Amino acid sequence: MSQLLYGSINLSELNEQAKKGHKAFSRGKNGKIYFNVNVWINDEPDQYNNDASVQLNFKDATKDDQMYIGNLKKSSGKPISPNSVDIPNDDDLPI
């Protein structure tokens, strides 16, 4: 049986890194922007009870290039209610 993880990704950090030209971002042939990540699943929860972490990454990245952008927790099976947020239109990304 698979385990569901839930969590948050820092969209503000993603936008900032994309605008800076971080190598984890690329534009596909379909015109959409993609980014590469590493996901670590911890053997034990960390001090904030996170079970996994998400980090920007790309081939041959150095430790300085890898940035944490989010954390995940194991789901208890209860539905999660998302917060309503106005997302700015950031079509000016350099990718």
For 50-69, what is each residue's pLDDT tens digit? 999 999 988 888 877 778 99
Does any domain span residue 60?
A: yes
Does any domain span residue 64?
A: yes
Reduced to 3 states (helix: H, G, I; strand: E, B; else coil), residue 87 is coil
Does any domain span residue 17?
A: yes
Does any domain span residue 85?
A: no
pTM tops 0.85, yes or no: no
The total of structural domains in the chain comes to 1
Does any domain span residue 27?
A: yes
**Quick count: other Cβ atoms within 10 Å of Cβ 3?**
8
Q: Domain range spanning residue 46?
A: 5-74
Does any domain span residue 13?
A: yes
Q: What is the pLDDT of residues 13-59, one digit of tens each?
A: 999 999 988 999 999 999 999 999 999 899 999 999 999 999 998 88
CA 15, 39, 43, 72 dihedral sign is: positive
